[in-house]
Structure 1
Amino acid sequence: MAESDLKLYDQAHLFDHLTTKQRQIIAAAIDVFAEIGYANASTKLVAQRAGVAEGNLFAKFKNKAGLLDAILQPVMTQIVPKIFNDFIGASAKHPETDLKTLIRQLVSERIDFLIANAKVLKLLFSELAYSQSRRDLLAQAIPAPQIARMGQTFTELKQQGQLVDWPDAEIFQLLWSLLGGAAVNYLFYQQVPDADKLTRSILKVLRP
C-alpha cells in the first residue's frame, strides 16, 4: 500500500474530506484490486492491507462495490474531464500548432500520466472492459464544448492539408484505439510505451 497511489486524487483535492483511516483503506484497495483483480479481492484482505478493522471499511464504504465506486467515480467524472479540458485549453492557446506537435504533446502527456497512475488506471481499464454503464458514464463526462473545440482544431488542420479528411468521430476512435492499446500493453503486459514510435504510428495514419 502506498500513499503515492492517492496522488491523482490529492492533486484535485478529492479526498480532502476523508480521515486518515479512510485514506488508508482507499490506498489499500487500489493496491489489492490492481494486484489480484477486483473479483478476486475481499474486504477482509483490503482491511488487512490497510491495517484497520474490517468494520472501518463497512462504516464508510458499505461494501466492496461501494469501495470500487469511491475509487473510480472521481476519476471518470472529475479527473478525466479535467485532463481533457487542460489539453484542449493548451491547444487553443497555440492555434498555430501543427499536427506533429499536437500528437507528440498528446502522446507524451498521456504516457507520463499512465506511468504515474498505473494502479488506478489498471483498475479503470479492467472495469471499462466489461461495464457498459461505466463506459457510458465516462463518455458523458467529457464536456461537449471541449469536444467541439477539438473538432475545430481538426477542421483547421484538415484545411491546412495536415490531417486526413475523415469524420471527427473516426479520428477520435483511432486516437483512442492506439493510445488505449499502448496503455493496455503497459498496464497488463509491462510493455513501456515508446513515445516517438507511437507518435510516428499515429501520424502515419492521420496524415493525408
Structure 2
Amino acid sequence: MSEAIEPWIEELLQAGLGRDKMTDKQRRIVESAIEVFAEKGYAASSTSEIAQRAGVAEGTIFRHFKTKKELLLSIVTPTMLKMIAPFLLREFRDVLTQDYDSYEQFLRAMIENRLLFLQKNKSLIKIVVQELPFHPELQEQFVQVVLVKVKERLEIVIGKFKAEGQLADLPVMTIIRLSASAIMGYVLTRTLYGTREGADWDDERELEATIGFIMKGLAP
C-alpha cells in the first residue's frame, strides 16, 4: 500500500485467512483490495484494478477468492471481525477500565480515544461505514461480535454514574445511543471536514459544544 500500513491491517495479514498463513501473493491481493475498497467502495471496485495494484494476474485472485464478494468477506467477516473485536476492545480498554469522577470526564477520554483510533485506522472506518448498510451478513457479524461486547462494558460505566445521580433516569441503551450519536457526529465531521485546509472549524469550541450538549441533555 502507498502509505504506512495501518495497525489493523498488519494484524489481519499476520492472522491469515482461516487456519493458513497468507502467501506473499495473498497478502498483496488483500492489501490492494483494502486500498481499493476504501477508496472507491465495494460496488465501484474491480478485480482487475485490485490485481493491477497487487502486481498479479486477475486470474490469480480467483484462484484464492471465488468472487469479488468473497474477497470482501475474507477481509471483513468472519476473519476480520473475529480479529477486530479484541482489537477494538483492546484499544478501548484503557478508557473503559479507568475510574472517572464524572461522566463528562469519561466523555472526554472516550472522544480522545476514538479520534486516535480513527487517525490510525482510516481505511478500516471507510470500509465498514461504506459497506455495512449494503451487506446484511456484515451487519449481523458487527452487532454480535463488536457492538454487544462494547455495550457490555459501557453498561457498567454508565450504570455507575446513574447510581451516583449524575445522569438522568433513562435506560442505559438510550444514554449510550444519545451519547454515541453526538460523539460520532463530532468525530466524523472533524475527520472529514475539520482537518481540511481552510475549513471553518474551531476544534476546541466544537468539542466543548458537543460535551455540553450531551451533559445538558442527560442531566438528572
Return the TM-score normalized by structure 2.
0.78
Say if 2:219 is the partner of 1:207. yes
Structure 1 pair 37/82, CA: closer, same or farther in 2 (3 Å)? closer
Q: Does the 8 Å contact 1:88/1:149 carry over to 2?
A: no
Aligned to 1:108: 112
Aligned-partner residue type, residue 44 of structure 2: N
What runs of 5+ residues in structure 1 fail to find an aligned partner? none
Q: Does the 8 Å contact 1:178/1:202 carry over to 2?
A: yes
Aligned to 2:177: 173
Q: Does the 8 Å contact 2:167/2:218 carry over to 1?
A: yes
Distance in 2 separating the partners of 1:186 and 1:24: 32
Measured after TM superposition, the shift of residue 88 of structure 1 is 4.8
Structure 1 pair 45/77, CA: closer, same or farther in 2 (3 Å)? same
Per mean C-alpha deviation after superposition, the further-off stretch among 163-172 and 1-10 is: 1-10
Q: Does the 8 Å contact 1:91/1:97 carry over to 2?
A: no
Per mean C-alpha deviation after superposition, the further-off stretch among 6-15 and 100-109 is: 6-15
Distance in 2 separating the partners of 1:10 and 1:123: 16
Measured after TM superposition, the shift of residue 144 of structure 1 is 5.3
Q: Does the 8 Å contact 1:31/1:119 carry over to 2?
A: yes
Measured after TM superposition, the shift of residue 65 of structure 1 is 0.6
Percent of aligned pairs sharing the same letter: 31
Structure 1 pair 119/159, CA: closer, same or farther in 2 (3 Å)? same
Aligned to 1:9: 9
Q: What is the aligned length?
A: 206
Structure 1 pair 204/25, CA: closer, same or farther in 2 (3 Å)? farther
Say if 2:153 is the partner of 1:141. no
Say if 2:27 is the partner of 1:23. yes
Aligned to 2:131: 127
Aligned-partner residue type, residue 116 of structure 1: K
Return the TM-score normalized by structure 1.
0.82
Aligned-partner residue type, residue 85 of structure 2: V
Structure 1 pair 78/104, CA: closer, same or farther in 2 (3 Å)? same
Aligned-partner residue type, residue 122 of structure 1: K
Aligned-partner residue type, residue 15 of structure 2: L
CA-to-aligned-CA distance 1:139-187 (integer Å, 9 cap, x gap): 1113857634432321210122222221011122223323443455466
Distance in 1 separating the partners of 2:54 and 2:193: 26
Distance in 1 separating the partners of 2:38 and 2:32: 10
What runs of 5+ residues in structure 2 fail to find an aligned partner? 196-200
**SS across alignment from 2:4:** helix
Distance in 2 separating the partners of 1:180 and 1:110: 9
Structure 1 pair 28/200, CA: closer, same or farther in 2 (3 Å)? farther
CA RMSD of aligned residues (A): 2.9
